[in-house]
Structures are given as structure tokens and as C-alpha cells.
A and B are shown apart, each in its own frame.
Chain A
Amino acid sequence: MGFIEILLVLVIVTDLALLGASRINSCIRFAAAQGILLGVLTLVSGAEGHTLRGIALAIVSAGVKGVLFPALMTRAIREARVRREIEPVVGYTTSVLVGVASLAVSLWISSRLPLVRPAASTLVVPTAFTTILVGLFLILSRKKALNQVTGYLVLENGIYSFGVALVEAPFLVELGVLLDVFVAVFVMGITIFHINRTFDRIDTDLLSSLKD
């Protein structure tokens, strides 16, 4: 089991930690750690490897996901004054079990998914799928807008790890996606601020009671 596998396993561990964490602060920290892990993964995985582009992509993505986004979200927390998710739709314990189940499903999917080019490791595809599923699940099962943003980031991390380890020249695509995500997080930060100012809370449930 090489260095890549260890990185991928750590990514899966951060997925599970995100599912089990109740404090928004620790959620943000886990998502940041995942972003940095994926940056390192870009460096060691075969596709982009040690070219200048690969190194630049790794540094930019790790910087944006590991430093910039956490800073933006911490600021949003400070402005909205929220500490923890009070009542997630699905409990934390159940969430962790869902995470394990989604890993099993991802392994099953990836075992019958023909790849054009062999991946850097057999774990790449399952990890990417797990991270995507966990991100989706976080968006669905959490009520606080900030946790949903974290879920969105995790979802993007999953897609990113898929691209980095498999596709030949993901540089432009990845940068484009990164820009999109950056704008999304920026807009969501503003939205959170407004939700909070309108309702004094950032539970997105409240939005469904909006009428014109």
C-alpha cells in the first residue's frame, strides 16, 4: 500500500469525520484538511505529476480550499454567530453509518466501472464516489446553511479527486471549476449573512416559508 493509498484513506477518514462532527468549526476544519490532502494527491498522482502545471494546480487548489474557503466561512460564522448544528435531519451516528454504506456502494460501483486508462490506484474511484456521495448527503441532511456549503465543498472535492487521478489534462477544467466554487462560496457567504439578518438564524428550513 503506497503513499497514494494512504492519502486516499485519509480522505475517506475526513469524510467520516465530517459526517460525525457537530460543531460547524470542526466541519470547516475537516473540509480544509480534505482540500489540502487533495492538493498533495495532485502532486503524487500520475496524471499531472511533477510538471509545472501539476504543481501550480496543487498549490492553487490547496490554497483556495485549505486556506481561503475556511477563512471566508469562519468569517460568515462570526457574522452569523452560530456555533453548532442543533438538529440535523439525520443524526450524527446514523450519518457515519451512511458514510460507511456509501463507501461500500462506491466500491461496488467502481468494481464494475470500466476505465479507459488505469487509475493511479484502485482506491481512487471509490474514494471519489464516496466523497461525492458524502457531500450530497451533507447537503441533504443538514439544516444550517453553512453546513450545506461544507457539503458543497466536499462534493466538489470528490469531483476534483476523480478528475486529478484519472483525466489526462484537467488543468483548465479544474481551474474553471475552482473559480465556480469560489464564486459559489462567496455568494453563499453573502446569502448566509442575509438569511441570518432576515430570520436571526441560518436554518434553511425557514426559506420554505417565504412567500411573495
Chain B
Amino acid sequence: MSPATLIPPILALVLAPFLLAIVNRTKAAFAGRRGQPWLQQYYDLAKLLRKGAVYSRTTTWVFRAGPIVSLAAVLVATAIVPLGGARAPLSFEGDIVLLAYLLGVVRFFTVLAALDTGSPFEGMGASREVQFSALAEPALLLGLAALARLTGKLSLSEIVATISGDPRATWFAEGPALVFVVVALAIVFLAENARIPVDDPNTHLELTMIHEVMVLDHGGVDLAFIEYGAALKLWVLGSIVVGLVLPVRTGAVLVDALVTVLGLGALAVATGAVESSMARLRLLRVPQLLVGAGAFSALALIFILMPR
């Protein structure tokens, strides 16, 4: 493990909340507002970290463990996800499966903590979260499987490096399949991060919330962990999508990483544009979107598996 591989996780840890700021500023620009300060997410996190928390007597240790385990799992995920051409510090054969399961652990503990509060609203949010992620997970796994099959590699760093490093063998040879994978992963990116069109991060009406409703009872440091974990999750999934789309490979780790960071910024702007230009889908339509993403991933896998 060379020191250069520490660049992606360090950038992630420092810059992840900034992505949310970009999304918010884009939405503000669309709405004609000035928007919150660029560093608002950091101020919020600092404020929350200074606060104490109030725990309901209904809750058990599961409620307190939820945010900690979730943040820990996301931190591990940041360690295995490369930033474009810049490799991740941890990479081994099969870490694509680990990534899917780390995201699963985050979700599982968020859901457990929500159920532990005994609040019917949180139970409803938990049920929706589980339903939608059960549909988003096949899309993610099939998409990653298609990428693994295309590149013949089983670790994220290798896959992204191959795709961005040798576009002639990947994008030109299997362009449509890769477009399908990118579309599917982009939908998974929006769904997993509770963005429009699957969930609205700004809504505060319990009946329509999915992710936000599950964290209603968390406060103080716990909430800071959850918010920071959400920002890191946005960064992790975003850097996979950007890593596939931006085939930039200069050889210098720092340059590669910075180009990908710029790409992430563009992705955040795109997310903000999507949120400003469309409404959240009806709950009944969301499964259709996610199954569509799964169908795209499956198509990509079929194309790549197809004998020439």
C-alpha cells in the first residue's frame, strides 16, 4: 500500500459533505434563491457533534449502535472505492461483492434503529426502504457483474482502472452495454442516496418520507454520524459512476483523483438539476423505475455474455 493510495479516501472524508452543498446550491439556483453557504454542511456537522442526545426509554442499544455501525460500514466502503484512475488503499479480488454488502449493512442497521424506536412512522419508512433497496440491489449487483465480466477483473480498483485506462477495449467495443450499466448505476445512485425521483430529502411530511423518516428520532452526535455517513455514501456511489464515465488516465495519481473530483462535482450539479426539474415519483411507480434499472443491468450482462 503506497501513500498515494491514501489520496482517494482522504479526499472523500474531507470533501464528501461539499457534494451536498453543490446539490443544494444547484437547486437554489434553479429556484432563483441564493442558497445556503457553501460550508453549511460542515457547520451543521460541527454543531451536531457538540450536542448531546436524548434517548427514548423505548429504545435499546440497537438504536445507539445503528449510526455507529452505519458510519463504520461506509468508512470501509470509502477505503475500497477508487477515485477514477487513482486506486483505493484496500483492493482485493471480490471487493465488488463486499461493497454491495457494506451498503446492505448500512441499510440494515438504519432500519433496525428505526424499528427500535417503536414509532409507527419509522416502521413505515423502514418497510419502504427495505422494499426499494431489495429492488435496487439486483440492479447494482448485476451491473457490477457485467463490469466484472467485461474487464475480467473482480476488484473495483482494477475494474475502474481497466475501463478508464483502456477505453478502446471497453467503451468502443461494448458501448451500449456500458451505457446501460451507467444508467442503471445512476438510478441506483439516486435511489440509495434517497434523492428525487425515489425519495425527497427535503420533505418533512411523514407519509411521503422514506429515508428521512427513519432518522427522525436521532439527535446530536448520532445524527451527525448519519448525515456524514449519507454524504460519504453519496461520494462512494458517485465515484463509481463517475469513474466509469470519465475515462481519464494521466498516470499521475493526484491529477486523476482531481479530475474525478471535478466529475463528482458535475454529478452533484446533475443531481440538483434532476431534483429541480422533476417531481418525486408516486410510491407505486418507484418499483417500476428500480426494476427498469435492474432490466438495464441484466441487458448489459446479456450483451457482454453474448458470444461474438
| Pair B173/A107 contact, Cβ less than 8 Å | no
Bound together, the chains give a CA A100 to CA B180 distance in angstroms of 13
Q: Give the contact stretch, choosing among A31-39, A40-48, A63-71, A90-98.
A: A90-98
Bound together, the chains give a CA A123 to CA B308 distance in angstroms of 9
Taking a contact as CB atoms closer than 8 A, the residue among B172, B291, B303 that contacts A96 in the complex is: B291
Highest count of chain A CB atoms <10 Å: which of B173, B295, B302, B306: B295
| Pair A97/B291 contact, Cβ less than 8 Å | yes
| Pair B176/A93 contact, Cβ less than 8 Å | no
Bound together, the chains give a CA A5 to CA B172 distance in angstroms of 12
Residues A5 and B295 in contact in the complex (CB < 8 Å), given A20-B288, A92-B288, A104-B302: no
Tell me, rounded to whole Å, the shortest Cβ–Cβ distance linking A205 to chain B. Answer: 23
Set of chain A residues within 8 Å of B302, measured between Cβ atoms: 100, 103-104, 107
| Pair B295/A6 contact, Cβ less than 8 Å | no
Q: Any chain A CB within 8 A of the CB of B175?
A: yes
Please give me the residue from chain B that is nearest to A17 by CB atom.
B292
Q: Which of B146-187 contact A (CB under 8 A)?
A: 172-176
| Pair A107/B306 contact, Cβ less than 8 Å | yes
Q: Which of B250-308 contact A (CB under 8 A)?
A: 287-288, 291-292, 295, 298-299, 302-303, 306-308
By secondary structure, the B interface counts as helix
Bound together, the chains give a CA A107 to CA B287 distance in angstroms of 27
Q: Any chain B CB within 8 A of the CB of A111?
A: yes
Taking a contact as CB atoms closer than 8 A, the residue among B175, B306, B308 that contacts A6 in the complex is: B175
Set of chain B residues within 8 Å of A92, measured between Cβ atoms: 288
Q: Which of A72-108 contact B (CB under 8 A)?
A: 92-93, 96-97, 99-100, 103-104, 107
| Pair B299/A5 contact, Cβ less than 8 Å | no
Tell me, rounded to whole Å, the shortest Cβ–Cβ distance linking A35 to chain B. Answer: 20
Number of interface residues of A (CB under 8 A): 20
Q: Any chain B CB within 8 A of the CB of A26?
A: no
Set of chain A residues within 8 Å of B307, measured between Cβ atoms: 111, 122
Q: Any chain B CB within 8 A of the CB of A172?
A: no
Q: Any chain B CB within 8 A of the CB of A1?
A: yes
Please give me the residue from chain A that is nearest to B174 by CB atom.
A1
Q: Which of B17-74 contact A (CB under 8 A)?
A: none
Q: Apart from A96-B288, A100-B295, A122-B308, what are 19 other A-B pairs with CB-CB below 8 Å?
A: A1-B172, A1-B175, A5-B176, A9-B176, A9-B303, A12-B299, A16-B295, A16-B299, A20-B288, A92-B288, A93-B288, A96-B292, A96-B295, A97-B291, A97-B295, A100-B302, A103-B299, A103-B302, A122-B307
Q: List 18 A-B contacts (CB under 8 A).
A: A1-B173, A6-B175, A9-B303, A12-B299, A16-B299, A92-B288, A93-B287, A93-B291, A96-B288, A96-B292, A96-B295, A97-B291, A97-B295, A99-B295, A103-B299, A103-B302, A111-B307, A126-B306
Chain A interface (Cβ < 8 Å from any Cβ of B):
1, 5-6, 9, 12, 16, 20, 92-93, 96-97, 99-100, 103-104, 107, 111, 122-123, 126
A-B pairs with the 3 shortest C-beta distances?
A9-B176, A93-B291, A100-B298
